[in-house]
């Protein structure tokens, strides 16, 4: 099968589309024929030098897992012994390392669910990483009903998801993005949109219960004056780990305004919630660009510009 392989850390050019052995499903696994996958900020950060601290888990000198990608949508081709939830022919979407490949094996109990009705495979693949990270990051501020929420960096994968999910949970949402993203972000239904190139949301006199920094570019120090007493700042981007622990420690015992690092988790129940919201018309994926698998290097280059709006998708099936 074809797969995107990187046997070393480095720039996008370390990625190659190679023929590798097709996996076989083990007990309680399903073999998915991948039709679409994605390239995420996390994918690029783990491959290049940005998230060097992660190498304690991914491999110090070279990657332990050499096939790239995490989001997938496709069709179940075979099931292992004991697998009963899915069967051959089922359309699914989910999260699994090594998803930039024609086939991937996923545990039935893992982050895998029936593909939302009405979505293409490309759209379904773009409904995993962003919303699942947004849900686990926002959980620290639950319940959101009636709260005033800022989503800073509202045009990215996590940002577009956060705007829609916060509205679903009943929050008053102010979405912050740049000029070229305003129309797309406004279409997601926030109560207000702020173009940060022309206005600083912290200088308006408005205060908020939650500032969710979806891109790790704002910081607690800059957000503090816009937080209500008891308010919470959460960064959903791993780049926050450069300075975040200091803010977390400084606010743990002093003051009512707190900072947290939004370490996301991937949960099957959250994926099922996203499926329900899509089918109810309360959530839609935002796709910036779609590339064929063979152009994965160019797709990674684009994601690394940090200019994408929503998601970058890879077409895997011919």
Q: Which tens digits make up the pLDDT trace of 198-214? A: 999 999 889 999 999 99
DSSP conformation class of 228: E
User: Per-residue confidence at 220, pLDDT binned at 50, 70, 90?
Assistant: confident
pLDDT of residue 52: 57
Residue 85 pLDDT greater than 70, yes or no: yes
Of the candidate ranges 114-128, 207-221, 243-257, 265-279, the one whose mean pLDDT is the lowest: 243-257
pTM over 0.85: yes
Of the candidate ranges 89-93, 211-215, 274-278, 280-284, the one whose mean pLDDT is the lowest: 211-215
Distances from the Cα of 289 to the Cα of 91, 136, 210, 292, 304, angstroms: 23, 26, 30, 10, 13
Distance CA 316, CA 38 (A): 10
User: Per-residue confidence at 249, pLDDT binned at 50, 70, 90?
Assistant: very low
What the block records as the tokens of 73 is 């949508």
Distances from the Cα of 113 to the Cα of 2, 30, 38, 86, 288, angstroms: 24, 12, 17, 9, 24
User: Per-residue confidence at 55, pLDDT binned at 50, 70, 90?
Assistant: low
User: Per-residue confidence at 57, pLDDT binned at 50, 70, 90?
Assistant: low
What the block records as the tokens of 88 is 């051959």
Q: Where are the domains of the chain?
A: 2-127+284-315, 130-261
pLDDT of residue 218: 78
Spelled out in words, what is the top-level CATH class assigned to the domain 130-261? alpha beta
Distance CA 115, CA 213 (A): 29
Instruction: Return the half-sphere exposure (C-beta side, CA atoms, 13 A cut-off) of residue 39.
Output: 31
Residue 239 pLDDT greater than 70, yes or no: no
> 144-171: per-residue pLDDT in tens?
999 999 999 999 999 999 999 999 999 9
> 31-46: per-residue pLDDT in tens?
999 999 999 988 887 7
Residue 62 pLDDT greater than 90, yes or no: no
Mean pLDDT of the chain: 90
Angle at 268 between CA 264 and CA 272, to 5 degrees: 110
- CATH 3.90.180.10 for the 2-127+284-315 domain, yes or no: yes
Distance CA 267, CA 111 (A): 6
């Amino acid at each position: 099968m074809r797969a995107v392989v990187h046997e070393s850390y480095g720039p996008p050019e370390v990625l190659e589309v190679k023929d590798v052995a097709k996996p076989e499903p083990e007990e309680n696994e399903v073999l998915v024929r991948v039709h679409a996958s994605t390239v995420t900020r996390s994918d690029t950060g783990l491959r290049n030098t940005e998230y060097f601290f992660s190498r304690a888990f991914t491999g110090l000198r070279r990657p332990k897992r050499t096939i790239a990608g995490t989001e997938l949508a496709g069709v179940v081709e075979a099931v292992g012994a004991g697998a009963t939830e899915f069967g051959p022919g089922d359309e699914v979407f989910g999260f699994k390392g090594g998803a930039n490949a024609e086939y991937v094996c996923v545990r039935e109990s893992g982050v895998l669910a029936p593909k939302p009705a009405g979505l293409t495979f490309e759209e379904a693949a773009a409904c995993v990483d962003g919303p699942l990270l947004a849900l686990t990051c926002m959980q620290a501020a639950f319940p959101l009903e009636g709260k005033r929420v800022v989503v800073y960096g509202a045009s990215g994968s996590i940002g577009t998801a956060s705007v829609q999910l916060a509205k679903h949970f009943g929050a008053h949402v102010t979405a912050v993005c740049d000029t070229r993203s305003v129309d797309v972000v406004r279409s997601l239904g926030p109560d207000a949109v702020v173009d940060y190139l022309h206005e600083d949301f912290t200088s308006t006199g408005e205060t908020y219960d939650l500032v969710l920094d979806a891109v790790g570019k704002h910081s607690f120090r800059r957000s503090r004056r816009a937080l209500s007493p008891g308010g919470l700042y959460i960064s959903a981007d791993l780049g926050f780990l450069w300075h975040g622990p200091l803010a977390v420690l400084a606010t743990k015992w002093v003051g009512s305004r707190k900072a947290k690092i939004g370490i996301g988790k991937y949960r099957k129940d959250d994926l099922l919630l996203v499926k329900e919201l899509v089918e109810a018309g309360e959530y839609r994926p935002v796709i910036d660009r779609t590339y064929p698998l063979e152009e994965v290097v160019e797709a990674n280059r684009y994601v690394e510009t940090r200019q994408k709006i929503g998601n970058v998708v890879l077409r895997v099936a011919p």
